[in-house]
Amino acid sequence: MRAAFMLLLAGLVVLSGGTAGRAADAAKIALVIGNARYPDNEFVLSDVANDAQDVAEELKRAGFVVDSQSNVTGDAMRRALDCFYARIERGAVALIFFDGFGIQSNRQTYLLPVDAQVWTEPDVSRDGFSLDTILAEMNTRGAAIKIALIDASRRNPFERRFRRYSAGLAPAIVPNNSLVLYSAALGAVTASGKTDRSLFVAELLREMRAPNISAEQALTNTKNGVVAATKREQVPWLSSSLTTEFSFASPVTRPPGDKAADPLPTKPEPQVQEPQKQVCEAPQAEPAPIADELARDPVVADLSRKVAANTNDVASRYKRGQVYAIKRAYALAMLDFDAVIRRAPRDAEALNNRCWTRAATGDLQGALADCNLALQINPGLSDALDSRGLVNLRLGRTAEAIKDYTDAIQRNPRSSSSLFGRGIATRKSGGDGATDIALAKSMNPDIAKEFAGYGVTECVP
């Protein structure tokens, strides 16, 4: 995804005269950021460093002046962006490539530095960098062509602290003559993986090098290639407001006197076969963490130091409970949530978190009591509706589960958890549920594995 991304603009060559011709001679400026090591994440994003390096090298070969940064903190990212803006000349082609974690908040996409401290949604705008703002600044500085290549559609530990499941990225507000490419669809996340290179980058690099096709056609071919290779599980999102013809590769030149041939054929859109009925196989749930792994976790260690220094530090206990629950250390999470609720018995968020934790461990009656109290305190808490939907689903109360999930979806239509749960509840009650399940999987490819960890599968007797 990433390397090709930059390539994308790196080799922008104008096909026509006039304004296009002037753009071809303009300065080409690029900022490449690859954030692979987030202390809050359980593993290093192993493909990020390789892809960012590939992108930077391609852009340099294509004539871009590239500033390449890796594992940048908030301060370093702010300085890099300021330097990037300062180098933009009027009429220039300006490109930013970001690979790492992104998050959606208030209908904007924020790019996160490695030291982001995100525990609640307001923290996103404080520590993240708005893609809309970056594009607007590129435009204000006089860039004739604005390009943003964003490979940040991963499920991450930050959103799970204040939303049940990742909501992916939001659409960008695109200035005139801009091109924005995401590695996955809006509101969707890509399947988790630890590969050394990304499929998206490979597809993009190949298409960017194809001569005699427009940039938009190359990106369309890239999208089709990813869609076919992943059997529609990953669908890149493209937004273009380009008014100038560009190509990522130079046109093929022919000897004088040769009869001009037709442009090279574009890659045909892949034929997607109708899905075949398959035997239901329940996915394997993620294993519980090992005690030594938890002890080495830097976030857990930092929060534990704070709790040890001040036993009344409710905020640190609550955060540590969230981290434990995300990492499936449910017994430890319960201890922290119990301590928080003893001090604040009407904390609806803490009650919801304990409800969810109890549901995951099989204490369904205790979970139901927590969720009911959370919703009595805050009837509009969508996460608590989602949690109670899971409890009712596991209790076999499918009608109640469908109602809870439906109410949660009305408040948060992009909740893959609520959609998947409603689909399963509908199926268990004798209905279809396929539409909800398919939409949930398109948003979060790992959602079935998540539910398997709660003892819920798609398999219906």
Note the pLDDT tens digit of each residue in 195-223: 667 888 778 777 777 777 777 787 778 78
Check residue 284 and give its pLDDT.
Answer: 61
pLDDT computed for residue 216 by the predictor: 77
Q: Which two tokens mark 311?
A: 């036993």
Its pTM surpasses 0.85:
no
Q: Which of 389, 428, 429 is CA-nearest to residue 406? A: 389
Query: What distance in Å separates the CA atoms of residue 204 and residue 202, rounded to the nearest whole number?
Result: 6
**pLDDT of 282:** 59
Q: What's residue 143's pLDDT?
A: 94
Q: pLDDT at position 211, please?
A: 76
Query: Do residues 249 and 209 touch, judged by C-beta distance below 8 A?
Result: yes
Domain range 2-247, CATH class: alpha beta
CA 210 to chain centre: 28
Question: What pLDDT, on the 0 to 100 scale, is given for residue 7?
Answer: 40
> Domain residues of the chain, as ranges?
2-247, 291-452
Q: What is the Cα–Cα distance from 210 to 206, expressed in whole angstroms? A: 7
Q: Does domain 291-452 have CATH number 1.10.1660.10?
A: no
Please report the pLDDT score of residue 19 as a whole number: 41
Nearest-angstrom CA–CA distance, 215 and 369: 56
Distance CA 184, CA 154 (A): 9
How confident is the model at residue 418, as a pLDDT? 93
Structural tokens at position 436: 């909800």
Whole-angstrom distance, CA of residue 198 vs CA of residue 186: 19
* Buried-exposed string 220-252: b where 16+ CB fall within 10 A, e elsewhere: bbbbbbbbeebeeebbbbeeeebebbbbbbeee
Q: Which stretches in the chain have pLDDT values below 70?
A: 1-26, 163-166, 192-196, 246, 248-291, 460-461
Closest CA to 322 of 287, 286, 297: 297
